[in-house]
Amino acid sequence: MTSNVTAVSYGPKLTASGLDKLRSALTGSGATLQSESRGGDSRFEVHTAEVAVADGTDAGISALRRAVAEAAQDGLDTAIVPAGLRAAPRKLLIMDVDSTLIQQEVIELLAAYAGKREEVAAVTEAAMRGELDFAQSLHARVAVLAGLPAAVIDSVRAEVKLSEGAAELVAAFKAAGHVVAVVSGGFNQILGPIAEDLGLDYWLANELEIVDGALTGKVLGAVIDRAAKEKYLREWAAAEGIAMEHTIAVGDGANDLDMLGAAGMGVAFNAKPAVRAVADSAINMPYLDAVRHIAGV
């Protein structure tokens, strides 16, 4: 069975030797290069190769991804993308928030007001590496916020910065008629205004409990963990009538693994090693809009 895929390579500076190694990896795996093109801007370069593969099954594409990854040079990452995903008339992009859509970890910004930033940051890092249960770690981190005035939420919101290219990525997907969602282990009070500004179709995070104008150190309801992220990906795709193979998920931590695995394309964005190891593709530069090139948007 012959199936077309697209090899999308990107990096701050793509070298001739790096692209030659890519071509060798593709042809050495039995693939045939049909056409190539270059793009990008002053921040990063993009090389796109249309490829015919003999084995278009999931296993065959996974094997091709491994071969390309093993041949990669520093500064060049390549996503092997099924042609059906790139050509889909409607796609769903779902993203994590902390350290993905935005540059910071909100829980750490909040903890700074309690004098606990370093302590909380260490727990966050362990949780993102998959060493701790996410829900338990979140409850422990939020507990240090007990007694803080609710006004710190406004202060933290002012500190939050979108990742480079995030607004452009969302705008491009929306302009092309696609659906954009975010699901976060962070907090609705921070995410809400960001989601509204970006015009997101769906968004969800945890809810900090506030009583008498102060944080209680608790969250309301069930924690948005890795299982919940996959659940909402599936629910929102179904609600929009979008096949799962036409979804793209982007995240950086262990709590994103189920979502990345369920999506048609899972993208690890400046991610922890355990996430990069299993994602379909990785972006190891600070520009979130590289996802546009992967998705063909």
For 263-292, what is each residue's pLDDT tens digit?
A: 999 999 999 998 999 999 999 999 999 999
Tell me the per-residue pLDDT of 47-99, one tens digit each, with 9 for 90 and over: 999 999 888 788 888 889 999 988 888 889 999 999 999 999 999 999 999 99
Q: Which of 96, 225, 256, 258 is catalytic?
A: 96
**What does the alpha-carbon distance between residue 93 and residue 266 come to, in Å, rounded to a whole number?**
10
| Interatomic CA distance for residues 114 and 31, integer angstroms | 56
> Tens of pLDDT along 118-148?
888 888 888 888 887 888 888 989 998 999 9
Is the pLDDT reported for residue 1 higher than 50? Answer: no
pTM score of the predicted model: 0.94
Tokens of residue 116, six digits: 């606990």
86 Cα distance to chain centroid: 17
The b/e string for 141-151 (b: 16+ C-beta within 10 A; e otherwise) is: bbebbeebeee
pLDDT band at residue 3, thresholds of 50, 70 and 90? Answer: low
Burial annotation 201-228 (CB, 10 A radius, 16+ → b, else e): bbbbbbebbbeeebbbbebeeebbbbeb
Residue in 20, 41, 58, 98 annotated catalytic? 98
Q: Which residues of 165-182 are buried (b: 16+ CB within 10 A; e: fewer)?
A: bbeebbebbbeeebbbbb
Q: Of residues 179 and 1, which shows the higher confidence score?
A: 179
Alpha helices in the chain (DSSP H): 16-28, 58-70, 83-87, 106-112, 117-128, 134-143, 152-159, 166-175, 188-198, 226-240, 257-262, 273-276, 290-295
- Distance CA(236)–CA(242), nearest Å, equals 9
DSSP 244: G
**Cβ atoms < 10 Å from Cβ of 20:** 12
96 catalytic, yes or no? Answer: yes
